[in-house]
Structure 1
Amino acid sequence: MNTALLIIDVQNGMFLEEEPVYNGDILMENVKKLISESRTNGTPIFYIQHNESEGEPLETGTYAWEIHSEIAPLQNDSIIQKTTPDSFFNTELDAELKKRGIDQLILAGIQTEICIDTTCRRAYSLGYKVTLASDAHGTWNSDPLTAEQIIQHHNRTLRFFAQVNPTSEIIAKQFV
C-alpha cells in the first residue's frame, strides 16, 4: 500500500484564540512526530489549509491562515486549499492522491468533529484505507461537551471508517 500523511488545518489561528485548541502542545508534538517519520520514510505529506472570507478567523493570506510555523511544509510537500470541512470537496486532493498511486491515508489535525470527521468519512467512501491518529487531532470545548469528550467520542465513532491508533502505534506499525 502507498501511504500519505494528511495534516488538516494546523494553522496559526488555531493556536491564537483566547481559548486555543485543547491539548494543543500534545497535538503539535504528535503531528511533528508523524511528519518526521513520514519524511524519514519518504511518505508524501499533504497539508490541508482552510480558507475563509475577509474578516473571518482564517482569512486567506493572513497570519492566522498560514500553516503553523512549527510544522512548516518543505518544498516536496503538497498544500491543498479548501473552503469546506471536506478536504476532498472542490479540491485537487483526490486527483493528487490517485496520481501518486496512494491508497492509504493517515489523518491528523484540527477540528475533530468537523474537518477531521468529514474528511475521514469521505476518504473511506472514496475507497481509501484510513488511519486516524487518536492523539493527534483536536478541538475546543462546546456546550454541552468538553473537547476531551468530543475527541473520545470521535475516536470511538470513526472506528467504523478508519483504524484509530495513537501516534506511537502508527509509527511502529505503518512506517516499518
Structure 2
Amino acid sequence: MDSQVALMVIDVQVGMFHENNPVYNSDVLLRNIKLLIEQARSSKTPIIYIQHSARPGRALEHGTPGWKIHPDILPRFEDEVIQKKTPNSFYETNLQEVLLEKGIKKLILTGIQTELCVDTTCRHARSLGYEVTLASDSHSTWARGELSAQQIIAHHNRLLCWFANVEKSNNILL
C-alpha cells in the first residue's frame, strides 16, 4: 500500500441510476468501482466519497432517497464523506484539508459525471499538485446532444491525460 494515495468516489448516488434514465453502462461502472473499493479496503487505502447536494427538486436534493450514496458501494465508518454543491469537489468543501491531514499526494478518481464533476475535480486536483490517476472505465455520464455517453467518456479519457494518468481499473494497484 502507498500510504500517500486515496481512492475518490465522486457522486455515485442513487439518483444517478434512475430506472428511466440510468447513467451509461451503470452495471459495469458499479462493478469496477466496487472492485477498486475492495482493493482499497484490503490495502487500507483511504476512501473518500464525494456526495453532491443539489437544489430542491433535483435528483440529488440533499436528504432525499436519490441523494444517498448507492447501496452497492456504501461508505464505512472509517471512510470520509464530503458534501459538495458544485462540480468541483474542492470548491467550498473541506476536501483539501482532509487530504493534507492524511498526507495524501496521489488520487485515484472514479465517479459521475464524466464531463462535469470528474473532469473539474481532476483538473483542480492536478493544479493543486496532486498526482492523479483517472480510472478510465470507472466514470460515466449520459448522452448530450449529438454526443453519446460513450463518445464523451472516450473524449475525456484522451483529453484528461494532460492532467492525469489514465488507466483501466484492473491496471490500478492500491
Shared fold per TM-score greater than 0.5: yes
Q: Which residue of 1 aligns with 2:135?
A: 133
Distance 2:151 2:167 in 1: 17
Aligned residue-pair number:
172
For residue 126 of structure 2, what is the aligned residue in structure 1?
124
Q: Does 1:148 align with 2:150?
A: yes
Partner of 1:77: 79
Identity percentage over the alignment?
Answer: 54
| 1:6 pairs with 2:8 | yes
**1:41 corresponds to:** 43
Of residues 156, 159, 170, the one that matches 1:157 is 159
* From 26, 51, 54, the counterpart of 1:52: 54
Question: Secondary structure of 2:107's match?
Answer: strand
Q: Distance in 1 between matches of 2:149 and 2:89?
A: 22
Q: Note the C-alpha offset of 1:17.
A: 5.0
Task: After TM superposition, give the deviation of residue 57 of structure 1 in Å.
Answer: 1.4
Q: Deviations over 1:39-58 (max 9, x none)?
A: 00000000000001211111
Q: Which residue of 2 aligns with 1:169?
A: 171
In 2: Cα distance, 1:53 partner to 1:139 partner: 20
For residues 71 and 110 of structure 1, the distance between their equivalents in structure 2, rounded to whole angstroms, comes to 14
Q: TM-score, normalised by structure 1?
A: 0.96
Unaligned stretches of 5+ residues in structure 1: none
Please tell me the residue identity of whatever aligns with 1:91: T
Q: Which amino acid aligns with 1:44?
A: P
Residue segments in structure 2 that go unaligned for 5+ positions in a row: none
Give per-residue Cα distances to partners, 1:80-126, cap 9 Å, x unaligned. 00000000000000110001100000000000000000000000000
Q: Taking structure 2 as the reference length, what is the TM-score of the superposition?
A: 0.97
